[in-house]
Amino acid sequence: MPKGKTTKSAELVAVGLGQCSLDEIAVVSDFPAEDSKPEAKELLTQGGGPVATALVTLARFGVTSNFMGVIGDDDAGMAIKKGLIAEGISTKGLITRKGTTSQRACIIVNIGNSSRTVIWQRASATPLAPAEIRTELIKNASILLLDGLMKDASLAAAEFAKDSGVPILLDAGSMRPGMMELAKVSDYIVASESFARAVASSPVKALKELRALNPQAKAITITLGKEGSITCAKGKRIFREAYKINVIDTTGAGDVFHGGFAYAVINGWTIEKTIEFASAVAALKCQQPGGRTAIPTVKKALKLTKDQAI
């Protein structure tokens, strides 16, 4: 059983459709100069991807989780699938494309200034098609997580979720084709600052634009890294400062933020508590290298919200 994992709850079921990858992480004390051979302080290999890592977070919190996506039949694909299964995540919706490669990434974590550089290779496997969606998984879910990385399948899944009364959480990490269409139908939108600036000239203006696009959304949040986050919900604007922690690596911070956010939503928490909890989960993750290494327990994240209550 993975570290920090708790007993699963039959009442809470999360389904995610999106990207998965295999991350090779090199931890160094300073960013390497060209044509140099620095020794790594640590080398890690673990699964990555926005929705995949959000589901790992939920699975460790005791939520039954199902992943839908695509891998190749290469070694990386097998490692990705094995990693999900090890976390207790169902891979019934994970399609393996024969003769193709999976997405991979090489991440250089510079602990000298807490930065990270991602060098990645796109998968050669074709995206999940709408006809390949396991709709029976969505129908019985407590929430559907999307990252918009497979446009047609994501839009089809969102439409089915809407018809089934399943809330949709969109991870708007980057502006891609179809993202605004997904934002228009999502119940919860959690966007990065870079996405927000692709929408408007500032995060505040982006909140207004997204609210105008989807006035029925229950909450729209824009994460601002070390500056915290800003949310529009129930006719009010909520600013949440970032928690004060020792940042080692921000890889996957946004992904586990979404996992924490989803956990709070399906437990019926207030939007204020939801943002606080998701922020705490993301902050604690940053204390160790890797997107999944330091995902905290629910208890530890809640303790941080109390210790650093505003």
Q: Where are the domains of the chain?
A: 9-20+49-102+127-307
Place of tokens 């696009």: 213
Single-letter code of the amino acid located at 274:
T
Quote the crossing angle between the two packed helices 271-285 and 298-307, to the nearest 10°.
110
Place of tokens 């089934």: 164
The superfamily (CATH) of domain 9-20+49-102+127-307 is: Ribokinase (3.40.1190.20)
Q: How confident is the prediction for the chain on average, in pLDDT?
A: 94
Dist CA 147 CA 255 (whole Å): 10
pTM of the full predicted structure? Answer: 0.94
Backbone angles phi, psi at 304, to 5 degrees: -65, -40
Residue 6 in this model has a pLDDT that exceeds 70: no
pLDDT band of 8, cuts 50, 70, 90? very low
Dist CA 118 CA 9 (whole Å): 35
pLDDT band of 273, cuts 50, 70, 90? very high
* pLDDT tens for each residue of 35-67: 999 999 999 999 999 999 999 999 999 999 999
**Cβ proximity of 94 and 10 under 8 Å:** no
Dist CA 243 CA 285 (whole Å): 12
For 34, other C-beta atoms within 10 Å of its C-beta total: 4
Residue 2 in this model has a pLDDT that exceeds 70: no
Place of tokens 């996405």: 195
Question: What pLDDT, on a 0 to 100 scale, did the predictor assign at position 235?
Answer: 86
Taking alpha carbons only, the member of 10, 4, 14, 42 closest to residue 168 is: 14
Dist CA 288 CA 69 (whole Å): 27
Q: For residue 39, what is the DSSP state?
A: P
Residue 167 in this model has a pLDDT that exceeds 60: yes
Taking alpha carbons only, the member of 144, 181, 136, 146 closest to residue 162 is: 144
Residue 106 in this model has a pLDDT that exceeds 90: yes
Dist CA 167 CA 175 (whole Å): 22
Question: What pLDDT, on a 0 to 100 scale, did the predictor assign at position 9?
Answer: 42
Higher pLDDT, 228 or 309: 228
Single-letter code of the amino acid located at 284:
L
Dist CA 232 CA 128 (whole Å): 32
Q: What per-residue string of b and e applies to 151-188 under the rule 16 or more CB within 10 Å gives b?
A: eebbbbbbebbeeeebbbbbbbbebbeebbebbebbbb
* pLDDT tens for each residue of 110-161: 998 889 999 999 999 999 999 999 999 999 899 999 999 999 999 999 999 9
Dist CA 276 CA 271 (whole Å): 9
